[in-house]
Structure 1
Amino acid sequence: MKHLRRLNKYFLKYKWWIIPGSIFVIISNIFGVVPAQVIGYAVDLITENVQIYNLFQGFERQEIIYTIFSSNLLYFGLLVILLYVMRGLFLFFMRQTIILMSRHIEFDMKNDIYQHYQELSLGFYRRNNTGDLMNRATEDVNRVRMYVGPAIMYTINTFVLSVLIVWSMFDVNSKLAIYCLLPLPFLVIIIYYVNTLIFKKSGKIQERLSELSSFVQERFSGIRIIKSYVREDYTRNMFEIQSNDYKRDSMSLVKVSALFYPTMLLLIGLSTILTIYIGGIQVMNGSITAGNIAEFIIYINQLTFPVTMLGWVTSLIQRAAASQKRINEFLDIPSDIQSTEPEDKEITGHLKFENVSFTYPDTGIQALKNLNFEIKEGEFVAIIGKTGSGKSTLANLIMRMYDVQDGSISIDGKNLKSLNLKNYRSQIGFVPQEVFLFSDTIKNNIAFGLDQVTDEEVYNAAKNASVYHNIIDFEEKFETMLGERGITLSGGQKQRVSIARALIKSPKILIFDDCLSAVDTKTEEEILQNLGKMMAGKTSILIAHRISTIKNADKILVLDDGKIIEQGTHSELLSLNKRYTELYNNQLLEEEGRSI
């Protein structure tokens, strides 16, 4: 139960649902136990009246006795019906409070988990599969909901009903009650043993389900690659292997449950046999009446429900504990990126790297080594280098997606770590190398970074990104729905929509992470011209592979193996006749080769 303690805050929040719900449970069970006593009296009444009726055989009074007897039976029958109607009414109230509370807790849990996911750094998402993240926020939460709703409801119900029945049994006859309850200790031992098995198997099943979800999500995302390489049969076989593992563990759990319930029913049946045998002896001795035996048999049958529920509830609690343990594992992970400064501050875009080194914690790869450079307010700075030189890592550090291990990054003279994170990022426009668009309209994708935006602002951003004319050619124009990850658009169109999304914010710092690779040279020049107008007096950082893209930059940084090996303007770097010149000459040769 230690894993489920985290739920106490939700129980405290919804205490005014639990308290009346528990009261309704008690009242409903009182109305459930009383009918057994009424039926016991009715059986004794029948026995006595049948004897009296037979004594007056052949007399006129026999008809009067029959009328009184019928009236009494009708009265007792109506009373039992009324008691069960009242029980049903309070059971309805019980479900309307406790089950509805569980849905509210489920809602709160999913929001808390999603909020925590949002706060975790990129490193967390590099280490964990999307399918597993989704499974913990859906399947695991649903299992926990079964604990906070049905499990708690039936636990209270089972406890109250058991106490009332046992108390009623001892109130009638202690000796008979003891014999009837003899099989219960064996049931407790069985439940304890089965609980351990259920807990272990439930945790294993959830792990298998996460693996299966991750597999399916990844294959659906890469469906074009699968079809291109004609690997449908291979992936189907892999899916079948994963499914078989999940089925095997699930069947193992089912077998445990299948053995558990018949065992419980066998013990309940044994109690019924003991009741009839011991009770029959006591009736002959005059200790109890036949009605008491009928009453006891009803109690035993009523105990079948709580005992059966005990097994089911135990299974729910164990599954919920296993799921909550998985949820807690992620909820207990603190974000690598912490922000303690509450004050918002408008930045000007003066960046400074001092002895910055960075190693990815999950892979151990050192991406940047002792970087020192400065970007002044309003400068247009370009970064170039071969693949793996650390360009994208540098952009992520400026965005504070990761924190540096050595050295410091300052913004306007203040350490980046001291700034309010949300406020800082809201003033940055970022276009990633891997474009991601949501399954939404083009308009909403462009306006994603702002809470309120006019149509005119969306249109202007699209024009500045040179994608406006492409959009208005669509039948639905800006209301065109994009497929998953923007699959409806071409590569160049996706990049330009992503650029429009960054430009509409009018950011203080704009970072382009090699996001012009899929557009032609003419479109690239148009975007850069619009960028020059929009970002006049603001800091722009452009990461690129093509020198033609960056030659007009105020400063160019050349990265190699995580180090800055050259920096200066285009002409200054050419005059050095080193790595930048080599890159420039190679690209000229490539362009000449393509033109031939």
Structure 2
Amino acid sequence: MKHLAALNKYFWKYRVRLSLGVLFVVLSNFFDILSPQLSGYIINMVTHAIRQNQGIHEVIKYEESGNYNFLVQWFIKWINSSAFTYSSIVILAGVMLLIMALLRGFFMFLMRQTIIVMSRHIEYDQKNEIYQHYQQLNTNFYKTHSTGDMMNRVAEDVSRVRMYAGPAIMYTINLVTTIIFCLFYMFKQNASLTWLVLSPLPILAITIYVVNNVIHKKSEIVQRSLSDLTTNAQESYSGIRVIKSFGQEKNMLGFFKKNSEEYRRNTVSLSKLEAIYFPSMTLMIGLSTLIAILSGSLQVLHGMMPGVIVEFVLYINKLTFPVSAIGWTASMIQRASASQKRINEFLQTQSPITEPEKPVTPVLNGNIVFDDVSFTYPHTGIQALRHFSLAIKEGEKVLILGKTGSGKSTIAQLLLRFYDVDEGKILLNGENIKSIPLRYLREHISYVPQDVFLFSDDITSNINFGLTHAAEAADVQEAAKYASVHNEINNLQHGYQTLVGERGVTLSGGQKQRISIARALMKGASIMLFDDCLSAVDSKTEHDIVNNLRQYLQDKTAIIITHRIFTALNFDKIVVLQDGKVLEKGTHEQLIKQNGEYAELYNLQMNTEQTAQATTEFQ
């Protein structure tokens, strides 16, 4: 139960519902426990009448000991104080049994309306808590955890925990109150017979203890198998085009069958183990019933009233479902414990990117300083930047060039605080980036990532994503025009209301990149950050976008990260990276004069463009 202790805060939050639920369980069982006593009294009364050789139509006045509930004693006094015949008493007893059954049903309804509804509220709160925690974790967490596993925790694991917070607690309280009521009146009626009836229970307790421990371990294995299966399915759905293009449907089906078989084997093993419970419960209940009948019959032969046997058999029957539910309830608790353990492990994962203790909110107009920054990716151990320094003034346009793996994208991720630097510091308007609130920092940076992501929504919503409120249609179209995608959007069947599908699957790579650029432009932040965002567009479209950006970025600070040189933009600084270090730095003219890596790349690109243009003219 130590893992499930994390739910105590929710139980305290919904303590009124929980308290009322417990009360309704007690009242439901209170009225349920009256039927064995009333039935036993009727049997004893008839037996007494037969023993006294009284006619069945004569007035019956049978005095009973005070071993019954006060309501049953009231009923006995009432019928003894009035002139009732045998038939009348039986009818009255039947009516009273019906009333008690109705009252029990009414309180059972209230019991479910409080405890089960409470569990739904807890499920809602816990899912929100997990999702909120997902939002707080840094990029490294998502690189080291699969999407399927994270989905499984917020869906399947939370559902299993809800079964504990609702049904398991309800049935446990029901079990406890039923046992207390039954044992109290059983001991009160006949202590020696009660001890005999309870003799099989130690065996039952040992069985439950042993099997519960095994169920807990197997439940953890089942949940891990389910996470692997979910991950496999999610990756197959997301990468279906790659799977089909390489003709790997059969192999992927084989992987899925392997994971599915692992999950099936584990769940079947768990189900077989759980199957021990119900036969064990039934056997113990059957033994108790047999003992009650045999021992009770021997005591009847020695003068005991037979109604006691009826009472004990009914008590045992009352205990049948609660006791048999021990296995089911214990299984739910163990599964919930295994799931809550996984949830706790996740919730206890803390992001190294934390909010500042003493936050400052400077005017972020684009004065940026990278001061001797070094950084190594924690999940790979690759050192992406080595003693990198760069000063950018407000309004400057900076081009960062480099080959794949040179550390270009790392600069963008550090500036957005997706990661924190290992050495050195990053300053914005003279303030360390770590002292600026994350939300405030990211609100003032428009970012176009290298890996474009569009949400499964319409184009307008995707362009408006970075805004706190929806923009005017004209503003959305203006941003799309700057990104050179307006005409293509208008050519779609539903224009800006076109649904782009999951991750923008209905659009081309170039269209997705340009919509992502429009989204960043729509945000209108003072710092613009473009990370290789034109790799999927043709040279003409690239030229149009760069010309548009030249106009848009006049009063903004812009960092453009790429492996190409944009000749249409006049950059204030150009930085060439190699293996995480600054290889060259200066203006276009300065770097051309150095005749180094930049000049070589520039000449190569110019020759390629001239050759392509000549080929086009010749055709």
Specify the TM-score bucket, using the shorter chain as the normaliser.
over 0.9
Q: Following TM superposition, by how much is the alpha carbon of 1:523 offset from its aligned partner in structure 2, in angstroms?
A: 2.2
Classify 1:62/1:524 alpha carbon distance in 2 versus 1 (closer, same or farther; 3 Å). Answer: closer
Q: Does 1:471 align with 2:489?
A: yes
Q: Does 1:169 align with 2:186?
A: yes
Please tell me the residue identity of whatever aligns with 1:43: I
- 1:315 corresponds, among 313, 331, 348, to 331
Q: Partner of 1:547 in structure 2? A: 565
CA contact (8 A) 2:58 2:86 kept: no
CA contact (8 A) 2:219 2:334 kept: yes
Query: 2:361 & 2:489 partners in 1: Cα distance?
Result: 36
For the aligned residues, what is the CA RMSD? 1.7
CA contact (8 A) 1:542 1:550 kept: no
CA contact (8 A) 1:524 1:549 kept: no
Please tell me the residue identity of whatever aligns with 2:272: K
Output aligned runs, 1:36-55, within 5 Å. 36-50=36-50
What fraction of aligned residue pairs are identical, expressed as a percent? 51
- What's the secondary structure of 2:47's corresponding residue? helix
Output aligned runs, 1:274-423, within 5 Å. 274-286=291-303, 288-340=304-356, 341-342=358-359, 344-423=361-440
What whole-Å deviation, never above 9, does each CA across 1:204-239 have from its counterpart, x for those lacking one? 000000011111111111100100011111111111
Please tell me the residue identity of whatever aligns with 2:46: I
Output aligned runs, 1:194-593, within 5 Å. 194-286=211-303, 288-340=304-356, 341-342=358-359, 344-452=361-469, 453-548=471-566, 552-592=570-610
What whole-Å deviation, never above 9, does each CA across 1:421-471 have from its counterpart, x for those lacking one? 101101110001111000001000000001212222212111111111111
Please tell me the residue identity of whatever aligns with 1:566: E
CA contact (8 A) 2:543 2:568 kept: no
344-353 or 145-154: bigger deviation: 344-353
Query: 1:388 & 1:154 partners in 2: Cα distance?
Result: 59
Please tell me the residue identity of whatever aligns with 1:329: E
- What's the secondary structure of 1:482's corresponding residue? coil
Please tell me the residue identity of whatever aligns with 1:77: G
Query: Structure 2 regions of 5+ residues with no counterpart?
Result: 61-82
TM-score, structure 2 as length reference: 0.93
Q: Partner of 1:103 in structure 2? A: 120
TM-score, structure 1 as length reference: 0.96
Query: 1:198 & 1:524 partners in 2: Cα distance?
Result: 60
Output aligned runs, 1:56-71, within 5 Å. 56=55, 68-71=85-88
What whole-Å deviation, never above 9, does each CA across 1:368-424 have from its counterpart, x for those lacking one? 101011111100001111111010111111111100011111001110101111011
Q: Following TM superposition, by how much is the alpha carbon of 1:550 offset from its aligned partner in structure 2, in angstroms?
A: 6.9
Query: 1:517 & 1:550 partners in 2: Cα distance?
Result: 16
Please tell me the residue identity of whatever aligns with 1:233: K
Q: Following TM superposition, by how much is the alpha carbon of 1:29 offset from its aligned partner in structure 2, in angstroms?
A: 0.5
CA contact (8 A) 2:368 2:427 kept: yes
Query: 1:478 & 1:535 partners in 2: Cα distance?
Result: 25
- What's the secondary structure of 1:424's corresponding residue? helix
CA contact (8 A) 1:10 1:105 kept: yes
- What's the secondary structure of 2:566's corresponding residue? helix
CA contact (8 A) 1:345 1:423 kept: no
What whole-Å deviation, never above 9, does each CA across 1:510-533 have from its counterpart, x for those lacking one? 011000112222322322232222
Please tell me the residue identity of whatever aligns with 2:263: Y
Q: Partner of 2:16 in structure 1? A: 16
CA contact (8 A) 1:397 1:403 kept: yes
CA contact (8 A) 2:480 2:518 kept: yes
Query: Structure 1 regions of 5+ residues with no counterpart?
Result: none
290-299 or 548-557: bigger deviation: 548-557
How many aligned residue pairs are there? Answer: 590
- What's the secondary structure of 2:276's corresponding residue? helix
- What's the secondary structure of 1:547's corresponding residue? coil
Query: 1:179 & 1:67 partners in 2: Cα distance?
Result: 37
What whole-Å deviation, never above 9, does each CA across 1:346-383 have from its counterpart, x for those lacking one? 31111111110000011101011010111111000011
Q: Partner of 2:154 in structure 1? A: 137
Q: Partner of 1:6 in structure 2? A: 6
Query: 1:110 & 1:63 partners in 2: Cα distance?
Result: 67
Query: 1:419 & 1:55 partners in 2: Cα distance?
Result: 95
